[in-house]
Amino acid sequence: MPFPTLPAPLARALSERGYADPTPVQAAVLEAAAGARDLLVSAQTGSGKTVAYGLAMAGMFFGDGEMLPAPGAPLALVIAPTRELALQVQRELLWLYASAGGRVTACVGGMDPRREARMLADGTHIVVGTPGRLRDHLERRNLDPTALRAVVLDEADEMLDLGFREDIEFILSGTPAERATYLFSATLPKAIEALAERYQRGALRLAIKGESKGHADIAYRAVRIMPRETEHVVLNLLREADAPTAIVFCNTRNAVRHLQASLTERGFSVVALSGELGQGERNAALQALRDGRARVCVATDVAARGIDLPSLSLVIHADLPHDAEVLQHRSGRTGRAGRKGTSVLLIPNSRRRRAEQMFAIAKVSPDWSGPPSADEIRRLDGERMLSDPLFSEPPAEEDVALAGALLASKAPEELAALLARVYRTRLPAPEEVSDPGEGRAPRGERPPYDPMDPEKIAAMGPAVWFRLNLGRRDNADPRRLLPMLTRRGGIGRQEIGAIRIFDRETKFEVRGNAAARFAEAFARNGSPEIQIEAISGDAPPAERKGRPDSPKGFASPRAGKHQRQVERSGPRPENKPGRNTGRG
């Protein structure tokens, strides 16, 4: 079904953007909006609703000619729950109305209100904004609502959830009674229906069929994980996909901060989005993703609302979504405008039943699998290395001369091995992870865990203790220190022994024959602010209660990565059963 007859500038804009046929929500809205009728539309994010109401309003703006009248008091008002969504809507309407001379002004929190007031005074056609900022401009009489012919409430359910009901009612009560009102909402709870009944006149209700089934361009994967390996699986998924832009969702701000720090330490270019960031920080993070300076975004649900990144092809749910609606909203950040995307959920066996219920409600059939292994990622690295542009571009004259000098001193096999090593050093090292399988194995069938053969440890020679200039006051923690030490030191986790964290420093051991290699690599890689030095003599003392500079925790010299224990200093709380694990 093609688009209906539209004003010529809008038809050209759609053609230039590759719009041949309308999406279901666009077709339904354009058919129902004839005659400036009020609409109550149930449509999911990513369904093309911005273009839908942008086209639906056009019939009220254009006269006999192809151009819009001179900008003055706004003709349309779009209200959105978040700054990101409002700015995204502004961008969509700008390209849609650009050929018609359209002027679209954004009024959102975190921006300079005086600049917005000047833009409103200069005249505009459409104003897009958040409820609080729009109300402020109305109260200050910067925004003249008398000429409004259409008002749009985008993601109305989210605005009510965020507590904007009073602001919305204030704004709507000041607009002309003869306006057309388009109310878009992913769900239609009683609060939305009450709002529609009060501020709309005989609204036509549209529930777009098929919107709840998930986006057709999104492939869903369910990955079985061990809970303690969540960060490692996220890392391996990012390395496996090698996506130009990826977003990782967490349920809390603390989880966002922790995962961002962990991925950054492992060599990824990462930004974070959470409610604690100011608008300037959020804008800088989004711009870094758009221009390619960052490739991974770790975010909470609320902070990621309205994000539209054209290169986003991978969504990872590090924490399981709360419900099917959140699942679809998160996943809808990718697979937009005809592009393909992948949505990956990390599911411990203990949460599998809940995840399957969520998939059933969302009408999603994911592909189940274990996490990608380190060997699989290394194999992919080999394939990607051969397809790297460096191998397809013709060498320059100075490159040929240098190659000749290298071949004169080393065999071709040695040079190829060195080239592979250089290529690998640019990439975060994959992690060894395990697949818990379809369910928990009976206790009697579980093989005993043997992190490392004592004979192998002895064969490494005497351990060497090192001192690191990070301690408890720097929030040092074994879970974060281990990846940093192995990455910068170029050694494996099995070559790190005990770790003892004090207030101002950390002491750790490196097993015998790896110590010299570790010290040289650590000095060569990474930040000069983080320094180590070898310690002569016996091992540092273990934890002692009451000692002012006692270690925060330590790992057994023979503990593997899954057996390292963290012990808190100081007496245990009295008269309280059990132990506070300090999660979160």
Task: Give CA 565 to chain center in angstroms.
Answer: 31
Q: What is the pLDDT of residues 306-315, one digit of tens each?
A: 677 878 899 9
**Residue 163: CB atoms within 10 Å:** 10
Instruction: Tell if the pTM clears 0.75, that is, is over it.
Output: no
If one compares 260 and 362, the residue with the highest pLDDT of the two is: 260
Is pLDDT at 584 greater than 50 in this prediction? Answer: no
Q: Which homologous superfamily does the CATH classification assign to the domain defined by 214-375? A: P-loop containing nucleotide triphosphate hydrolases (3.40.50.300)
Is pLDDT at 480 greater than 70 in this prediction? Answer: yes
Domain chopping of the chain, boundaries: 8-212, 214-375, 451-584
Is pLDDT at 566 greater than 60 in this prediction? Answer: no
- The label of the residue with tokens 């990955």 reads 223
Mean pLDDT of 6-22: 84
Output the pLDDT for position 528.
67
Cβ contacts of 120 within 8 Å, gap of 6 or more = 74, 105, 107, 127, 137, 142, 143, 144
Cβ contacts of 497 within 8 Å, gap of 6 or more = 463, 508, 509, 510, 511, 555, 557, 558
Class of residue 519 by CB neighbours under 10 A (exposed 0-12, middle 13-18, buried 19+) = middle
* Same fold: 8-212 with 214-375: yes
pLDDT grade for 461, boundaries at 50, 70 and 90 = low
Q: Report domain 8-212's class.
A: alpha beta
- 109-118, 134-143, 263-272, 567-576, range with the lowest pLDDT: 567-576
Rounded to whole angstroms, the Cα distance separating 91 from 68 reads: 18
Q: List the beta strands (DSSP E) in 250-301.
A: 270-273, 296-299
Q: What is the pLDDT of residues 309-360, one digit of tens each?
A: 878 899 999 999 888 878 888 888 887 656 789 999 999 998 998 899 889 8
Mean pLDDT of the chain: 81
Most confident of the following: 3-7, 82-86, 134-138, 459-463: 134-138
Strand order in the sheet with 39-42: 104-107, 126-129, 76-79, 150-153, 180-185, 39-42, 204-207
pLDDT grade for 452, boundaries at 50, 70 and 90 = low
Q: What percent of the chain has pLDDT over 90?
A: 29
Q: What is the pLDDT of residues 153-198, one digit of tens each?
A: 998 888 887 789 999 999 999 999 889 999 998 777 888 888 888 9
Is pLDDT at 410 greater than 90 in this prediction? Answer: no
Report which of 272, 327, 273, 278 is spatially closest to residue 302, judged by C-alpha positions: 273
Output the pLDDT for position 294.
93
